[in-house]
């Protein structure tokens, strides 16, 4: 991604929204490809769940969404101000 930095004066790689789009479309294409391979290639299976087409992709996606949404809920209980633990009168 960013290892091919091209500096032209003050414009950097991701200052151009087109490049961000390119990265995103690249990701979408790879994901679609990886999902479709499952229907062609017969994976070596050890666990019954692995037989489901696209199991790893779906599981990874759902896991991350659940992770983030739960963590967001945790904030309501656990989040405090930055100086919560500081003794009074100290930065």
Contacts with another protein, residue ranges (CB under 8 A): 1-3, 5, 12-14, 24, 27-28, 30-31, 34-35, 37-38, 41, 43-44, 46-47, 49-50, 54, 56-65, 67-72, 74-75, 77-82, 84-86, 90
Task: Give me the least distance between CB of 40 and another protein, in Å please.
Answer: 11
Which residues lie below 8 Å from residue 83, measured CB to CB, with a gap of 6+? 91
Contact 43, 50 (CB under 8 A): yes
- Tokens 């919560």 locate to 84
Minimal distance, residue 18 CB to another protein, in Å: 16
């Amino acid at each position: 991604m960013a290892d091919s930095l091209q500096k032209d004066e003050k414009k950097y790689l991701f200052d151009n929204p087109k490049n961000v789009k390119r990265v995103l479309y690249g990701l979408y294409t790879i994901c679609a490809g990886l999902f479709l391979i499952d229907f062609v290639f017969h994976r070596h299976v050890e666990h019954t769940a692995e037989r489901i087409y696209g199991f790893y992709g779906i599981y990874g996606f759902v896991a991350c969404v659940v992770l983030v949404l739960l963590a967001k809920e945790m904030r309501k209980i656990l989040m405090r101000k930055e100086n919560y633990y500081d003794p009074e009168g100290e930065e």
